[in-house]
């Protein structure tokens, strides 16, 4: 079994619950679910279709502002960005447009316009996305190749703390969540892509491509 992030095979058992097994890579510290526990595409979409990501929902906007506020502090008006994994109701892209940015959206289920992968961006956002990725290593390769030098990658995802907290963590109850990152994992990602990481609260990371 190789790590889906760094491709190393230094894997150890991390946790087992009544539904799935979880393993951790000793190299990058990613915790992940083996392929045999993945949902089918149809099952995944059925879960995503239940999400109510409404741009008019102020509570949802407040949630996304945990990423947009520190990101906008680092951007200039007219910056070009991509909302990667925007879901069925793109909202962060609208918030950033309202703040003066030029935005594209991409989602493999709802907005599968692959022309975005031919472009270069000042910033890319992935809010509540990376935990769903089957191949985060190749996905991050693609994302960083689309960032201009000095560009920003903004990620929102809950972080692994320790085994005890993991065992009781609501985040692993969502069966579409298959990869779980920690601060150590993001430091590894930053080193791999020559990026500078910053952490905000318990679930927001900004990585600057240098």
In a domain, 2, yes or no: no
Give alpha helix (H) positions in 122-180: 136-145, 163-167
Decide: 158 and 208 in contact? Cβ < 8 Å.
no
Record the pTM: 0.94
In a domain, 66, yes or no: yes
pLDDT digit string (tens) for 132-146? 999 999 999 999 999
What average pLDDT does range 94-110 have in this prediction? 96
In a domain, 170, yes or no: yes
User: Kindly report the CA angle at 171 between 166 and 176, in degrees rounded to 5?
Assistant: 125
What average pLDDT does range 85-110 have in this prediction? 95
| 54 has a pLDDT exceeding 90 | no
pLDDT digit string (tens) for 147-200? 999 999 999 999 999 999 999 999 999 999 999 999 999 999 999 999 999 999
Beta-strand relationship, 21-25 and 31-32: antiparallel
Model confidence at 204, pLDDT cuts 50, 70, 90, reads very high
Model confidence at 75, pLDDT cuts 50, 70, 90, reads very high
In the chain, DSSP finds a helix count (H) and a strand count (E) of 6, 10
Model confidence at 93, pLDDT cuts 50, 70, 90, reads very high
In a domain, 5, yes or no: no
| 53 has a pLDDT exceeding 90 | no
Decide: 54 and 29 in contact? Cβ < 8 Å.
no
In a domain, 1, yes or no: no
Q: Which of 150, 149, 154 is nearest to 206 (CA)?
A: 154
Model confidence at 104, pLDDT cuts 50, 70, 90, reads very high
| Domain CATH code at residue 49 | 3.40.50.150
At residue 9, the pLDDT reads 97
Decide: 130 and 103 in contact? Cβ < 8 Å.
no
At residue 113, the pLDDT reads 94
Count structural domains, the chain: 1
**Given phi > 0 = left and psi -120 to 50 = alpha, else beta, which region is 144?**
alpha
In a domain, 96, yes or no: yes
At residue 49, the pLDDT reads 84
In a domain, 158, yes or no: yes
pLDDT digit string (tens) for 13-52? 999 999 999 999 999 999 999 999 999 988 998 988 887 7
In a domain, 44, yes or no: yes
Residue 108 CB burial class (10 angstroms; 0-12, 13-18, ≥19): exposed
Domain that holds residue 186: 11-209
């Amino acid at each position: 079994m190789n790590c889906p992030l760094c491709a190393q095979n230094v894997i150890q058992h991390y946790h087992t619950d009544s539904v799935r097994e979880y393993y951790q890579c000793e190299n990058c510290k990613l915790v992940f679910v083996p392929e045999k526990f993945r949902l089918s595409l149809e099952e995944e979409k059925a879960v995503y279709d239940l999400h109510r990501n409404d741009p008019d929902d102020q509570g949802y906007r407040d949630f996304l502002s945990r990423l947009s506020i520190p990101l906008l502090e680092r951007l200039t008006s007219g910056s070009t960005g991509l909302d990667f994994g925007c879901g069925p109701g793109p909202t962060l892209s609208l918030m950033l447009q309202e703040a003066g940015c030029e935005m594209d959206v991409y989602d493999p289920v709802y907005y599968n316009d692959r022309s975005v992968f031919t472009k270069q961006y000042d910033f890319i956002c992935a809010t509540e996305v990376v935990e769903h990725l089957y191949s985060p290593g190749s996905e991050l390769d693609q994302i960083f190749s689309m960032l201009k030098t000095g560009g920003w990658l903004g990620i929102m995802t809950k972080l692994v703390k320790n085994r005890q907290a993991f065992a009781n963590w609501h985040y692993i109850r969502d069966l579409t969540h298959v990869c779980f990152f920690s601060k150590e994992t993001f430091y590894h990602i930053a080193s791999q892509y020559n990026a500078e990481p910053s952490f905000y609260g318990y679930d927001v990371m900004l990585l600057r491509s240098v």
